[in-house]
Structure 1
Amino acid sequence: TGPGPVCAVVTAVALAGTRVAGRVHRRRLWLSWLQDLPRSVTATALAFALVTGAGLLAGADGDDTARMQEVVLCFAVVSEALRPAVFASGRWGRRRLRRCDRAVVVGAGRIGGELVRTMLEHPEFGLLPVGVAASGPDPVPSGLPVERIDGDLTGAIARLGAGTVILAPADDRDGAIVDAAITAHRLGCVTLVLPHLFELCPDGPGVDRLRSYPLVWLGGAPTRRPSWWVKRAVETALAAAALVVLAPVIAVCALAVAAESGFPVFFRQVRVGMDGGTFVLYKLRSVRQAAVDDSQTRWSVVGDHRVGPVGRFLRRSSLDELPQLWNVVRGDMSLVGPRPERPVFVHEFSAVHDLYWARHRVPTGLTGLAQVHGLRGDTSIADRARYDNYYIANWSLWLDVKIVILTVGELLCRRQR
């Protein structure tokens, strides 16, 4: 008889979990059974160890543990026996049936041309080049049977139906390559990068091969991952609950504002959100109203005589930010993300600081990575942009949790000063 239902579930979870974590089943260019064999063997060994450990910890019968081990080993044998044939059929389909993903190469010169020719000569890697764009001073090589892209990369990707973008930077700070990577992410394209000193680049996690060229897989846009929808659902629920729980606190603060400087107690201001869209942000008013409203163009209120004792307390404690929970519930903002800025300053900073505009790839947030590193108020805009773009490139649910914990710690420390 086979293992019981519980043992079957444990075995299935162990096999699936180790193979997913080990990236045994993943999208790849190079379909090679021998290249993948060490990864598959490692996953099998881990699954074998997991079912053995689970059996020992649960005090399972020795026969049940042995059956789970047998299932793992049988699965490994059958799987490895079939994988060479599966890979061979995949290569055949790419070569004969042209089941290839349409690709655009960004980066001209000799290397860009060689990448295009390699894809054309070796369709078994699953890429069909349809366009090439220059990224630096080197022109697009002549004689390539693909479209030369000048100017609008976004429009070209859509028009050519490209699902993959390969980046071949001309130098270490090729701004056009970075812009192209962000554009590809926004469009949901698979993004591959030919690294500098690629001749010395070893194989490793996230590295694939196009013949002799190593290509590094860049992670997709965070907003396209299933975990992003988990983030949105959790943040909406938390913000709604916080609004209910903190309603008395907001009411007391509003009464204090009214007593100090009259009505209105709420402050409304236009801010820039995801993809450059604008929304109305809500705060408790901490500055007395002036005859001329300069809130959209005034950078800082440090030293402003219009900020009274109540306003200073609200700003120091960040209690003036609590109404933004409503923006989170509405979907204008997230709990965690780059802080939103006013349109006039977004325009100004985007013209001066590299990739400031790129921080708007995700919704803005109530707190962010830059803020927990001390970048609040009149601090470096360049540093803020770098932290915000780092957050987007490395986003995970755990990173959000860390930022929330650091924010709470910072607020508590600030109140004790």
Structure 2
Amino acid sequence: MVVRPLSTAETAVPVAVPPRPAGRPAAAERPLDERVSGVTVLLAAVDLAAVAVAVLLVSPQWIWGLVTGAVLIASRVAARLYRRRLWLSYYHDLPRSIAAAAAAFGLVAAVALLAGQHDATIRSIGEVVVLFFLIAAVPRGTVFQVGRWARRRFGRGERTIVLGTGAMGVALAGSMLDLPEFGLRPVGFIDPSPPAGGTELPVPLLGATLHDAIAAHRAGVVVIAFTNATDAQIVDATITAHSQGATILMVPRMWELYPDSADIERLRGYPLVRVATAPTERPSWWVKRALDSLIAAVALVALSPVLIAAAAAVVIESGRPILFRQERVGLDGRTFPLLKLRSMRPADETESQTRWNIAGDPRIGPVGRVLRRTSLDELPQLWNILRGDMSLVGPRPERPGFVAEFSQVHDRYWARHRVPAGLTGLAQVNGLRGDTSIADRSRYDNYYIANWSLWLDLKILLLTIREVFRGGQH
């Protein structure tokens, strides 16, 4: 994989996303008990048991008991009551818990009213919600208390690297050591410009790059304190840590003004913003991959008549081969052979890999122009998706030579490869196809990664369908 060259000041904070071994994320190198929060698992188990008991005791109509229980759990997931956290406090979560229960009751009651249910059904729904809340209260508080005790007694905390050796970084590392119940165990500092000799650090200053330090110490958390690194270096360091499955906690500027929220952790009064995890580390990413495979398989079968007709047209116009294979760069910088229906015949392989745009090339015949205008030439990439080379939605893959060139020129072009390449992407549905700005494409692609969700994928797919019917150009 090609990466942007580093300046002397950047050598301690790498900006490259190093390739990971195929099929094995870096986070998997840490023990299971450090990657899975026992507190979160126990809280979910307590709530599921409380829902079951409440439904059994109230005994509403089975359908309304099932709906109420499902909505209760869903509302608590939406309220992020099962999130990983440093501060294990029942009372800190109590307002959020009450709001989630109230929202669940309001939603189910509204559906029941619309369905023409009687007051007795509404009352039983309310009883289930109230009883669930009361039953879960004591066990939930106990889970938090046991979690704090286990962290103190057995050192059940995540290995943590602190980026920044200033006063804030030193104070945070000291707090982690003094308060093990917050679940962070500092293993060392990294700073591109460490303090002069004489400054006493509570844990060692690591001489390795951030990537190597995370791997060597199996660190699961990186805390970004105030440091001499530039903002660009900090962003690059965050991307590096994300690529290895690490959690990012960041001290915000003007931290004294930050109120509590689901994304704000507290460590001895210092707010730490929990940066969203990398998309590929989230459970919903597996849903994306399953949907990719299912949709690609169904589409290949459903569109097989179209593919056969298009293939026959290619053979009639310009002979074989039907498919055009071209090396492209995908997830973690790995290359794969991208498939297209051939719309023209390149002079040789060198032209295929080095020519940027073939729009208007006289070698493109009527069939080729139709294939490109309608995007039918892209349909064989459904096989790439089924193989796992690509996704339905993601940054469009580029050839290795252009990846090398663009990574040297455009900020964080290399960072697009944190996720698999896509058949379509956010940049493409915003008109960035063919000979358009690479900087704008890179910006859209990195925005997509930072804001990824299943809903965003669906939105891009719907916009892609609209673009196809409009006959958008490559």
TM-score by length of 1: 0.90
Q: Partner letter of residue 79 of structure 1?
A: A
> In the alignment, does 2:58 pair up with 1:2?
yes
* Counterpart for residue 177 of structure 1: 234
How far apart in 1 are the matches of 2:360 and 2:257? 55
> In the alignment, does 2:324 pair up with 1:267?
yes
Q: Deviations over 1:287-334 (max 9, x none)?
A: 234267411011112343333333233222222212212211221111
Instruction: Pick one of 401, 407, 414 that aligns with 1:357.
Output: 414
How far apart in 2 are the matches of 1:17 and 1:23? 10
Instruction: Give percent identity, aligned residues only.
Output: 56
Secondary structure of residue in 2 paired with 1:146: coil
How far apart in 2 are the matches of 1:193 and 1:199? 14
Alpha carbons 2:58, 2:127 under 8 Å: kept: no
State the shift of 1:414 in Å.
Answer: 2.2
How far apart in 1 are the matches of 2:315 and 2:180? 70
Alpha carbons 1:338, 1:365 under 8 Å: kept: yes
Secondary structure of residue in 2 paired with 1:148: coil
Instruction: Pick one of 113, 127, 135 that aligns with 1:70.
Output: 127
How far apart in 2 are the matches of 1:237 and 1:287? 31
Structure possessing the higher relative contact order (Cα contacts under 8 Å, 6 or more residues apart): 2
In structure 1, the gaps of 5 or more residues are none
How far apart in 2 are the matches of 1:300 and 1:91? 59
Q: Partner letter of residue 73 of structure 2?
A: A
* Counterpart for residue 255 of structure 1: 312
Instruction: Pick one of 296, 310, 335 that aligns with 2:353.
Output: 296
Q: Give the length in aligned residue pairs.
A: 415
Q: Deviations over 1:214-259 (max 9, x none)?
A: 1111222222323222222222222222223323323333333333
* Counterpart for residue 118 of structure 1: 175
Alpha carbons 1:108, 1:140 under 8 Å: kept: no
Q: Specify whether residues 251 and 81 from structure 1 end up closer, same or farther in structure 2 by C-alpha distance, changes over 3 A only.
A: closer
> In the alignment, does 2:284 pair up with 1:227?
yes
Q: Partner letter of residue 309 of structure 2?
A: V
Alpha carbons 2:374, 2:468 under 8 Å: kept: yes
State the shift of 1:337 in Å.
Answer: 0.9
How far apart in 2 are the matches of 1:153 and 1:112? 16
How far apart in 2 are the matches of 1:210 and 1:51? 38
State the shift of 1:348 in Å.
Answer: 1.2
How far apart in 2 are the matches of 1:64 and 1:312? 62
Within 5 Å, which residues of 2 pair with 1:43-62? 43-60=100-117, 62=119
> In the alignment, does 2:92 pair up with 1:35?
yes
> In the alignment, does 2:278 pair up with 1:193?
no
Q: Deviations over 1:168-211 (max 9, x none)?
A: 35489523322222222222222212222222222223111112
State the shift of 1:80 in Å.
Answer: 3.4
State the shift of 1:149 in Å.
Answer: 2.3
TM-score by length of 2: 0.80
Q: Deviations over 1:68-125 (max 9, x none)?
A: 4233223323433454444333333323332222111123322222221221222221
How far apart in 1 are the matches of 2:422 and 2:395? 5
* Counterpart for residue 12 of structure 2: none
Q: Deviations over 1:354-402 (max 9, x none)?
A: 2111111111111101100111111111111111111112111111111
Q: Specify whether residues 299 and 74 from structure 1 end up closer, same or farther in structure 2 by C-alpha distance, changes over 3 A only.
A: same
Q: Specify whether residues 70 and 172 from structure 1 end up closer, same or farther in structure 2 by C-alpha distance, changes over 3 A only.
A: farther
Q: Specify whether residues 149 and 354 from structure 1 end up closer, same or farther in structure 2 by C-alpha distance, changes over 3 A only.
A: farther
Q: Specify whether residues 79 and 140 from structure 1 end up closer, same or farther in structure 2 by C-alpha distance, changes over 3 A only.
A: farther
More deviation, 372-381/23-32: 23-32
Q: Partner letter of residue 328 of structure 1?
A: I
Alpha carbons 1:125, 1:210 under 8 Å: kept: yes
Instruction: Pick one of 83, 99, 104 that aligns with 2:161.
Output: 104
Alpha carbons 2:173, 2:202 under 8 Å: kept: no
Secondary structure of residue in 2 paired with 1:271: strand
> In the alignment, does 2:79 pair up with 1:12?
no
* Counterpart for residue 11 of structure 2: none
How far apart in 2 are the matches of 1:293 and 1:127? 52
* Counterpart for residue 306 of structure 1: 363
Instruction: Pick one of 307, 326, 345 that aligns with 2:383.
Output: 326
Q: Specify whether residues 140 and 48 from structure 1 end up closer, same or farther in structure 2 by C-alpha distance, changes over 3 A only.
A: farther
More deviation, 112-121/240-249: 240-249
* Counterpart for residue 341 of structure 1: 398
Secondary structure of residue in 2 paired with 1:305: coil
Secondary structure of residue in 1 paired with 2:312: helix
Alpha carbons 1:3, 1:68 under 8 Å: kept: no
Secondary structure of residue in 2 paired with 1:184: helix
> In the alignment, does 2:204 pair up with 1:147?
yes
